[in-house]
Structure 1
């Protein structure tokens, strides 16, 4: 039986492994965690809108019933493209095909102190660490919680909006933390740079309306235990600096037999294989993937998921003695949540722009589609998401209790 080794259990890796498993192909999927994490919702874990367990689904549950799938929980140390193998926890795992889906990490761009003193948001562990930090500050002291978010992309904008709303709710409760401020620092002059000018303005105005403080056109030159220094030599004091300033491929990508391209990612051919290695694929945030016109696609969950499924289909074609097909990405658009009742979406290849409730509906649709590949209870997610706009429970959670669950109703729980 053909054996495929999948390195990483993100959206791309899960999509690839699940498609192959359904077709009876033997699969070994390796990841440091025993769960799949849904990265677009990590900022909501960090701001107590969701518990970590609700954005992490056990791999044992995802592949339940597939006897042809082996799940290995181990840190991948090296990749070997020539032998179609990887090494994890001292074990060399080889196959007939190797799919690299190792994901991304925060890119600190060499900023002094950034890696040591800031909170990235690229894993469940990152989000939990930030949430515990915020809770400790709010529960243990009488000082306001000032937050600095570095980066004006979707993660930065969504996180800034969530914290601004948290502070508004705390003020309503007369909690000392309500005196805090959410600062968003962006090197460029526009928020959500890949979006249209109309979306830039909408995001800017909505964040201001929610109470966020914006510093645009300046960068962060240093981070320390007490705050950040900006490129205009000003300083913002804060013990809570959140880094959303960019990402690069997981370091293991550089251990293979191919020289990484921009962002430390693996360049791939049109069929998603790594050049010179016909049976090695790279998908998701670890890969530089282009569309049919040669334009590099953004690091989005929809790109990762579609690429993972496409790689599986190409492996199936090769097994059947047929020619592989060029990856064709179906553009579902780009979107960002800016706060309760405020979202922006540019839908489809022609980027039809919508705002407010319609944008939120688009956000729901895309995220539900992404979740359907890893979660069985999408209806519960939709119910929670609508309730999200009607509830200000995050501030109460930070001070008194636990976030509201999305009731996935799984028997197996991830180890987080």
Structure 2
């Protein structure tokens, strides 16, 4: 099969969807390809894994997103290869699609940094599938321990960035507020959550004040912190740290970093840190006019040349900006260098507890005000009215009543279930 479109967009994350929406509103013929038929709200995956919200709150069908944009076609397929010179993509079905412009927004894959055993035994947390597998694993582990009064429940979260902090905090609060309510009364005393990172503090990109607040709250809810020491191997029964100590664990969650996937690695484009493409100021790939690389597949800089973090807000703004430059390409206009509007950082630490550093001036909030701000911002960013309503209901139910979304496990319990 050989189809030609004005724009091919590979990847339906924040960047790809934002670009497709802007182009579709201008009547541009767009083909959007993704291996999933839904758009996932990645910042809330940890809440799916910890039963704070359901999958339907963060996953919206792509055809629903674009139902009113008749020039945008959605194809569900796995992109296997790209031809930068031809501005084409080839899928696992053997189909090839060509465009006048090509957008690579294929996201990333977990970066295990060659840590022995990590890929085989740790749960990553980058997709809906990852989140549901982790949630199922946690529920099964609690079910097993509930039947055996001698069994302990130990979880190690690797990575002290926002994902790791949010995951560890949510798990510890589940132990504190939920496990005793739904399981045997002594099970909570047998549960432990560990957070490990080779850097000396949590939330390294945040201010010292935010780091101290997050550290204090995590400690308060029972997270055992192991900072300044890396993980040297992951085993089925736990992890080994760089200082030689071992932490027993039935579940290891890997939130230790991301890298670009194989399609980008094999594209022939020059790669930088994390296997990502160091894009030019107009978001095109070097020596590949008309090829844009966005989101977690790209290293993007601001107008001052400072590398921007791998955040959803960066990806979303870059998608809209790239669409503007593609429109300029199609109409004979001039591309403009990406001008990022810095909205700051946020991280949820637990119930009623969060840190926020807002805007270029980094206005700092901690505690309940940051918590409410976090809720409002993420509610506004969710795609679709139904998703917003579901998330709001889940948060009210969970944070006010400590009644989480329930994970239903079907089939036999198999502790050796393969992980992605």
Same fold, judged at TM 0.5 (above): yes
CA shift for structure 1 position 383 = 5.2
Please give the per-residue CA displacement for 1:112-170, whole angstroms capped at 9, x wherever unaligned: 00000000000000001111111111123332321100010000000000110111131
Cα distance in 1 for residues equivalent to 2:222 and 2:351: 13
Aligned ranges 1:80-229 → 2 under 5 Å: 80-89=83-92, 90-141=94-145, 142=148, 143-168=151-176, 169-172=178-181, 174-178=184-188, 179-229=190-240
Cα distance in 1 for residues equivalent to 2:335 and 2:376: 30
Secondary structure of the corresponding residue to residue 9 of structure 1: coil
Deviates more, 1:355-364 or 1:8-17: 355-364
CA shift for structure 1 position 175 = 4.1
CA shift for structure 1 position 361 = 2.7
Deviates more, 1:215-224 or 1:172-181: 172-181
Please give the per-residue CA displacement for 1:169-221, whole angstroms capped at 9, x wherever unaligned: 31355445412100000111110000000011000000001111111111000
Aligned ranges 1:210-359 → 2 under 5 Å: 210-359=221-370
Secondary structure of the corresponding residue to residue 302 of structure 2: coil
Cα distance in 2 for residues equivalent to 1:33 and 1:11: 14
Please give the per-residue CA displacement for 1:246-299, whole angstroms capped at 9, x wherever unaligned: 111122111223121110111111110111111000111110000000000000
Cα distance in 1 for residues equivalent to 2:358 and 2:392: 19
- Tell me the equivalent position of 1:392: 402
Secondary structure of the corresponding residue to residue 167 of structure 1: helix
Unaligned residue ranges in structure 1 (runs of 5+): 402-416
Unaligned residue ranges in structure 2 (runs of 5+): 411-420
Deviates more, 1:130-139 or 1:251-260: 251-260
Deviates more, 1:53-62 or 1:333-342: 53-62
CA 1:321–1:398 in 2, change beyond 3 Å: closer, same or farther?
A: closer
CA RMSD, aligned part only? 1.8
Answer whether contact 1:266 1:274 (CA < 8 A) is retained. yes
Deviates more, 1:343-352 or 1:65-74: 65-74
Cα distance in 2 for residues equivalent to 1:25 and 1:160: 44
Cα distance in 2 for residues equivalent to 1:296 and 1:367: 24
- Tell me the equivalent position of 2:47: 44
Deviates more, 1:162-171 or 1:376-385: 376-385
Answer whether contact 2:161 2:204 (CA < 8 A) is retained. yes
**Structure 1 residue runs of 4 or more that deviate by more than 6 Å after TM superposition:** none
CA shift for structure 1 position 400 = 9.8
CA 1:50–1:378 in 2, change beyond 3 Å: closer, same or farther?
A: closer
Specify which of 7, 25, 29 is matched with residue 28 of structure 2: 25
CA shift for structure 1 position 393 = 1.6
Cα distance in 1 for residues equivalent to 2:396 and 2:374: 11
Cα distance in 2 for residues equivalent to 1:347 and 1:208: 25
Aligned length: 398
TM normalised by structure 2 equals 0.91
